[in-house]
Structure 1
Amino acid sequence: MKHRYRHPSMALALAVSLVGTVSAQEVVREGVSTEYQRFDLVRVASGLSHPWAVAFLPDGRQLVTERSEGMVAIEDGTQTRVTGLPDFHATNQGGMLDVVLHPDYENNGWIYITYSRGDRRGTVPALIRARLDGHELVDVEPLFESNEYTRPGRHYGSRVVFLEDGTLLMTIGDRGAEPPRAQDTLDHSGSVVRLNDDGSVPDDNPFVGDDAYAPEIHAYGLRNIQGIALHPGTGEVWATDHGPRGGDELNLIEAGNNYGWPTVTLGRDYRTEEAFPDAEARHKEGMVEPVFEFLPTLAPSGLAVVDSDRFSAWEGNLLAGGLRAQRILRLVVEDQTVIHAEELLHGDVGRVRDVRQGPDGYIYVLSDESDGGLYRLEPR
C-alpha cells in the first residue's frame, strides 16, 4: 500500500507557515471557586480551528492538532504550522486527531499521531509516529490502521495512551454505521487495541493465537472512547465512552473484557428515546458494566488523572471533559467506585474536547470550536 505524507495544502507541504500571534497569559476568569480549589482560568492561545488534542514538548512548546487544518506548534503565543503531516480525511468527525509523545521522547524523539485516513472505500482511524525537525515532521512511519474502511465518517475514537510496560493503547470507535460491529471480534471497530511502540502486536495480548479475534484487540464492545488515561498511582486505565442518547460511561479498561455495546446499553435511541434497537438489555452476564454513568449527558471527550502538587486537593481525581455539556466533571474514585462528582467550568470555555495535565503541573483544556482555545488552570 502506498502512503504519502504531506499537509493537505500543497502550498504548505515543505514550508513553515506562521499562523499568527495571540495574547499569552490572558486571564479570562479570576478566582474560580470550587469545593477544594481556587484557580484562575488563563487563555494560552485562541483562534484554533476545532482543536482536538494537545501535547507538551520539553522545550515548553505545545503541539495542538486541529481536526480539519492539521497541527500547530505554540510558543509564547505564536502559532506556527507544522508540516510533513500525512494525508488526512477531514470530513464530518474525521481529520487530524490525537497527538502523544513517547514516554522516552527526550531520547528517541517519537511523536504519535492519530488521524482519519480515506480513499474510495471510506475512512479508517490510523496511527503514525514521526520526529519533529524544527516545524516539520520527519522520519514518518505508519504503524497501524483499523482493518475495516467505513462510511460515514464518524466515531473514530482515536485516543492514545502509553502503559507502564511501554506498550500503547489506541481507542477505535464503532464507526457509527453498524453498531453490532463492536461485538465482531475480527473487526477493530468498537475496540481498544494494544500495540508495541513500533506498531507490532505484543505477544501477551489477550487474544493472540485465537483465530476468532483480531490479535491487536485488548478490549471490545465499546462505542466511541474519546477520553483515556493511565492512573500513575494504581496503573489502572480509565476511559470515557460516548453513549447514544444518554448512556455515557466511565469504564475501567482491562485486558480481554467485553463492555457490551450495543448488546447492552444504558442509553436510548436518538430519534424515539425508546430502548436502543440493537440492545438486548441494560445488563447481561459476561459483559462488563460501566463504573459510572454520566447523568445528565456529558458527551465525554478528554480525560486526565491529577497527580500534581499544584492541585494537591484533587490528587488522584479524574477530570472528564464534556462536549455537549460544556463542562468538566471532577470525579473522586475510591476502590474503583465514583463516590463524588463536582462540576467545573460549566459554559466557561465552550465544548471541552481535551483535558490534560502538563509537565508543569497545570491543567490544560482545549475547546472544540471554530475559534477554539487552549486554556490553563492556575491554582491560587
Structure 2
Amino acid sequence: MGACYCYLHMKNIYLLLASFLLYTKSHSQVVVGPRSERFDVRIVASKLSDPWSVVYGPDDHLWVTESKGYRVDRIDPKTGKQTILLDLTDERHFPRYDQLGKRAGGKPWPQGGLVGLALHPQLLTGKPYVYLMYVYDFEGADSAGSGCRLHDGGCFFTGRIVRYRYDQAKQKLTGPVILCDTIPQSSDHNGGRLTIAPVAGKDYLFYTIGEMGAGQFTNIARTNHAQQKDIYEGKILRFNTEPDQDAGQYE
C-alpha cells in the first residue's frame, strides 16, 4: 500500500509541476514538496495558448491540449521540444471572440474550448488511440448581439468527443472517429476531463460534464438538469473505447 501511494503521490506531484511549468515565466527555482522533497523548477514550454489537459504518456512525453489554440502538443520534458500533433482550428465553427473585443458584439468564449485528453493504456502496444473533447459549435454565432438566450436559457454551445489514431512515424493524430457530437456546452461550468479506467476488466472512457452554469450570470435562466438522469448535463458519462455491435456503438 505504501509503495502504491508513493507512486501515485509522486506522479501527481510531477503532473502538478508540469502544469505549473507550462504556465510560469519565472526563472529557475526550487519547490519543496509536502514530504520535504526538493524539485528544481524550470520552464519546459512557453507561449502555449491556455494549456488545459497535461497527461504524462507512456512515451515519457507530456501530451497537452491548448484550449484556445485548439492544438494538441507532445512535449519532451527533458529538452522542451514541442511537436504539434493536431490542429483543430478548422473544426471550431465560431471565431476567437476573446480576441475580437467590441467586434464580438458581446458573444462569449465557451468555458474551455479544446479541453479533455486521454491516452489509451495500450497506446504504444497495438491500440494507438487518443481521445479528445472540444467545443465545436455555438448556437448564436450568426445572431446579432451576444448570441445567447438571455431571457429564456443562456449561452448554448455544443461539444464532441473524438477518437484519433497516433501515427508515431509521422508524429500526427489521424483518422478521427466521432464518439459523440451532441454534448451540451456553455459559457460556464462545462467540465471537460477525460480519463480511461477499467470496469470488470474492460476499459471505458469517462467524461465529466458540468451543469452549464445554470442559474447564474448569463446562464441564469438556464434550467439545471444535474439531477435528471436522462440528460447529459451535470454527470459523469461513460463511453466504450472501441465500437461494439449495437446501434450506439460507443455508448
TM-score with structure 1 length normalisation? Answer: 0.41
> Shift of the alpha carbon at 1:73?
2.4
Q: For residues 190 and 180 of structure 1, what CA distance do their matches in structure 2 show? A: 8
Closer, same or farther in 2 for the Cα pair 1:113/1:189, shift >3 Å?
Answer: same
More helix by share: 2
Alpha carbons 1:53, 1:65 under 8 Å: kept: yes
Q: Offset of 1:168 from its aligned partner?
A: 1.8
The separation in 2 between residues aligned to 1:200 and 1:145, in whole angstroms, is 18
Q: Do the aligned partners of residues 30 and 127 (structure 1) sit closer, same or farther apart at CA in structure 2, a change above 3 Å counting?
A: same
| Identical counterparts, % of pairs | 28
Instruction: For residue 40 of structure 1, report the CA deviation from its aligned partner.
Output: 2.6
Q: CA RMSD in A?
A: 3.0
Amino acid at match of 2:132: I
Letter in 1 for 2:212: R
Give the distance between the partners of 2:133 and 2:244, measured in 1 at CA: 16
Counterpart residue type for residue 166 of structure 1:
D
Whole-angstrom distance in 2 between the partners of 1:156 and 1:131: 26
Structure 2 partner of 1:143? 179
Q: Which residue of 2 aligns with 1:126?
A: 160
Structure 2 matches for 1:189-338, cutoff 5 A? Answer: 189-198=233-242
Letter in 2 for 1:117: Y
Cα separation, 2, equivalents of 1:201 and 1:35 = 50
Q: Say how many residue pairs are matched.
A: 177
Between the aligned partners of 1:195 and 1:33, the Cα distance in structure 2 is 36
Q: Which runs of 5+ in 2 are unaligned?
A: 1-21, 97-108, 141-155, 214-218
Aligned residue type for 2:175: D
Higher relative contact order (CA 8 A, sep 6+): 1
Residue 169 (structure 1) aligned to one of 197, 202, 206: 206
Instruction: Provide the C-alpha distance between the structure 2 equivalents of 1:128 and 1:115, rounded to a whole number of angstroms.
Output: 9
1:228-266 deviations in Å (ceiling 9; x for gaps): xxxxxxxxxxxxxxxxxxxxxxxxxxxxxxxxxxxxxxx
Following superposition, the deviation at residue 31 of structure 1 comes to 5.2
- TM-aligned CA deviation for residue 82 of structure 1: 2.8
Shift in Å, 1:145: 3.3
Of Structure 1 and Structure 2, the greater strand share is in 1
Q: Distance in 2 between matches of 1:154 and 1:132?
A: 31
Does residue 160 of the first structure (1) align with residue 194 of the second (2)? yes
Q: Specify which of 77, 83, 88 is matched with residue 86 of structure 2.
A: 83
Q: Which runs of 5+ in 1 are unaligned?
A: 1-21, 203-215, 217-380
In structure 1, C-alpha distance between the alignment counterparts of 2:180 and 2:157, rounded to whole Å? 13
TM-aligned CA deviation for residue 93 of structure 1 = 1.3
Over 6 Å off, 4+ runs: 199-202
Is the Cα–Cα contact under 8 Å of residues 73 and 81 in structure 1 kept in the other structure? yes
